[in-house]
Structures are given as structure tokens and as C-alpha cells.
Amino acid sequence: MQSKDTSNIKQLLNEREGFHVWWRLLRPHTLTASFVPVFVGTMIAFNEGAINWWIFTAMLIASLLIQSATNMFNEYYDFVRGLDNDQSVGIGGSIVRDGLKPKHIRNLAFLFYGISVLLGIYICMMSSWWIAIIGLFCMLIGYLYTGGPIPISYTPFGELFSGVLMGSVIIGITYYIQTETISTEMIWISIPITIFIGCINFANNIRDREGDKRGGRKTIAVLIGKERSVALLGTLIALAYIMTLLYILIGFLPIWSFITFLSIPKAYGIIKKFQGKKTSLEMMPAMGATAKTNTMYGMLLGLSLLITALL
């Protein structure tokens, strides 16, 4: 039986029953952090004339499954450690509000990892077995993000790990399995994506700062406070656009990549949505805008590369 407070939170968050419980468990607003790097890495390779759509599909599904499993481990271990309760708004809520059994969520996460391993074997057979080592390392970090004796999410390095692994590393893997090489241009192009993905995590931690502080987390947002965190978030986002402009001017990116600047209004809205907001619920739109900015920028960047490859 749900408490009245729990029902009120579910109503405010527009949380529905049935299939939507399982959909929220995946935390779909974060999954663009998996799709965008695979898309961009593949389009960079496409510009060099190398693309295998079967490998692309396998890599995309594996990345989405690993990201979903990481989200499940996050929810499971935050619940086990007592960080989440039925009033928390920065979570999927599958355990504390929807009543799913914690062990079922943990086991489903391991199942997703298992399927990812099978897809990884296919990718390695089509490219290089070195990918297996990197892939297993990424999966380990995904588990240790909230699992293990010292979870990465409890430290100031959560944004760095999530950004680099889901950004530069995934783009690098995706590019390598198509071309069997690594280029300097690819590495530089991956950095703005890395920044945006790290910012999704950063925005999440700004929103959850008070709860994280009570739970013993030492995130950047907890250590430097909300106002400085929002200012730093804005600086990082501006840096990503400045780097994009520089890449276009020096020829790392095509002229078509100017379309990525169509995402600037959405990025500007992130800071506006954080300003003057005090509760986690009030900052939810800012978190959503951060994820949408990553989606818009990444999709437009990938599209600009696709147009260039087709012309």
C-alpha cells in the first residue's frame, strides 16, 4: 500500500503504472549518453569511407544495455545504502515507489551485461579482440560507479568517469571497430561530447545535492555548493561550443557542423532553469534540458558528418 506522500510524489512526477514502471527503470532520459557517442563515432568513420551497419547495430545495442544496467546498479546500490527513499525525485523510483524487488533489478542488470558480452564477442570477431579488454573495463567501471567498497558516484570523479568512458572511449571504440585505427581528429572531436555527457551527470548531482550530502556523497556539487556548480556547468557547456567552433575553423569538422549551434538555446535554458530553484523537484526541468542538449548537439553533429560523407 502506497503512502499518501508517495502517491503525491508519483503524481507530481507524472509516474504511471504498468509498462512505464519498467521504462523508468532504464532512466530513458540518460540513454542518449549511449546513443550519441556510437552515432558520432560511426559517422566520423563513415567520412573516411568505412562503415559496417551490422557492427554499428551491435555496438549501439550493447552500449544501450550497459548504460541501462549501470542505471539499475545505481538504483539498487543507492537503495541498499539507504540513500533513496520514497520522496526522492532524482531516481527511477522502481524500488522505493513502484515496489520492484531490489534483487530483481540487480539480476536484470547482470542479464543486460550478459547480453552485452555476447554482442561484444561478435564485435571482436568482426574487428579486434583488444576491444574485449576495453569493453570489460567499461562494464567494470559501470558496476563500480555505485557498487564496490568506494563507489565512484560518492566521489568528485563521477562526472569525469562518466564523461570520458561514455564519451571519448565509446566514440573511440566505435570508430576503431569500423576503421581498425585511431585518429587525432577523432580524439579531439570526441571531447565536446565527453563534456556534454559529463554535464548530464553534473546536472543530476546539482539537483540531488542536498540528498547526496545527507547520504555522505562528496560530489563536486556537494563540495562547492549549488551556485558555483551551476556557474561551472555553464562554463563547461560554453567550452564545448567554443571547441566546436575552433574545430570547424581549423578543418577538424566540416562547415555543416555549424548546425550544432542550433542547440545553444536549449543549452542556455539549462542555466535559467537552475537559477532561483531550491528543491530537487524544481530543478528537474534543468536536468531534463541538460540531457536534451546532449541529444540535440550530438544528433546535429552526427548529421553534419553524415551529410558531408554523402555529398
Confirm whether 10 is domain-assigned.
no
Confirm whether 8 is domain-assigned.
no
Question: Distance (Å, rounded) from C-alpha 311 to C-alpha 307?
Answer: 6
pLDDT in tens, the chain (311 residues): 444 444 544 454 445 555 566 666 767 767 777 889 999 999 999 988 878 999 999 999 999 998 888 888 877 877 777 665 555 555 556 666 566 777 888 888 899 989 999 999 999 999 888 888 888 888 888 788 877 778 888 899 999 998 998 899 999 999 999 998 989 999 999 999 999 999 999 999 999 888 888 878 899 999 999 999 999 999 999 999 999 999 999 999 999 999 999 999 999 999 999 988 888 888 888 988 998 999 999 999 999 999 999 98
pTM: 0.83
* Amino acid symbol at 276: G
When divided into structural domains, the chain yields a total of: 1
Give the domain CATH number at 41: 1.10.600
Confirm whether 1 is domain-assigned.
no
Is-contact 123 59, C-beta < 8 A? Answer: yes
DSSP 8-state class, residue 260: G
Is-contact 200 219, C-beta < 8 A? Answer: no
pLDDT tens digit string along 55-64? 999 999 999 9
Confirm whether 3 is domain-assigned.
no
Is-contact 166 39, C-beta < 8 A? Answer: no
Confirm whether 199 is domain-assigned.
yes
Question: Distance (Å, rounded) from C-alpha 185 to C-alpha 293?
Answer: 23
Q: What is the extent of the structural domain holding 166?
A: 15-310
The label of the residue with cell 545505481 reads 74
Q: Is the dihedral of CA 157, 163, 166, 168 positive or negative?
A: negative
Confirm whether 4 is domain-assigned.
no
Confirm whether 43 is domain-assigned.
yes
DSSP string, 206-218: HHTHHHHHHTT--
Confirm whether 298 is domain-assigned.
yes
Residues 6+ apart with CB under 8 A from 112: 65, 66, 68, 69, 72
Q: How far is CA 102 from CA 11, 27, 30, 186, in A?
A: 23, 16, 21, 40
